[in-house]
Amino acid sequence: MPNVSTRGDGKPEVNHSYSAKLNPATGECILENYGEKYKTCDFALLANLYISEGKPGKVVEVRSSRRTGQSNFVSCMREALDRHYGKKPVGMGGTFLIQKGKAKIHVMPEFSPCPLNGDEAVNNWLKFFDMSAPLICQSVYVSRDLGFDLRVEHTHCFSHHGEGGHYHYDTTPDTVEYLGYFLPAEHLYRIDRPEQIHKLGW
Ligand SMILES: [Zn+2]
């Protein structure tokens, strides 16, 4: 769950990121303060990052409770933007709180010793949990892919009770409550785009 103030104006970088991994002995989630523990801002595999100057200003506030359809909170916002703006893609980033209820969250185990071919193999490898509110979520989403092989939405969450990971959807549609703050992006950068694309899940 990347959250970094970058170096600048004579100040060093500050890393508030968290990471989630599995306890190999128990299979439970271990949430760690990544910046404090590993003293690095490096990351591997992939990241969907929202970058801002951190200045105060107007933001979009979204309050929502009770889920009536299949789409998760982020998909609802993304699909609404896509319906409205169509061929003009809109990218958003921000943070939201799952204030009440529970959510389906995955944590990556150790890397698979064999290649994972297909979504089913990926899902069998990932470890899924039903995690409890309050969950603090960081999200990046783009209303539609312009052909960059984007992951059009990606949300990770952490908490102050030891749970965190990759957000899929809430599992308590009748009682769930969300509160979020978002901003539209001005530019989209696709860095180190893979030459071979796989169209695989998460
Ligand atoms: Zn993820």
* Domain range annotation of the chain: 50-184
Q: What spacing in Å lies between the alpha carbon of 9 and ligand 1's midpoint? A: 31
What DSSP assignment string belongs to 114-130?
Answer: S---SHHHHHHHSEEEE
pLDDT digits (tens, 9 = 90+) for 64-82: 999 999 999 999 999 999 9
**Ligand 1 centre and the CA of 54: distance in Å?**
23
The pLDDT value given to residue 147: 86
For ligand 1, the distance from its centroid to the CA atom of residue 10, given in whole angstroms, is 32
Which CATH number among 3.50.50.60, 3.30.300.30, 3.40.1190.20, 3.30.1330.80 corresponds to the domain 50-184? 3.30.1330.80
How confident is the model at residue 202, as a pLDDT? 47
CA of 139 to the centre of ligand 1 (A): 10
pLDDT of residue 195: 82
Cite the beta strand spans of the chain per DSSP E. Answer: 4-5, 14-15, 18-22, 29-33, 60-65, 91-100, 102-107, 127-132, 135-142, 153-158, 165-170, 177-184
- Below-70 pLDDT ranges, the chain: 198-202
Using the mean position of ligand 1's atoms as its centre, give its distance from the Cα of residue 166 in Å. 5
Predicted pLDDT of residue 198: 67
Nearest to 66 by CA among 138, 157, 172, 181: 172
Residue closest to 19 by CA, chosen among 178, 42, 7, 181: 42
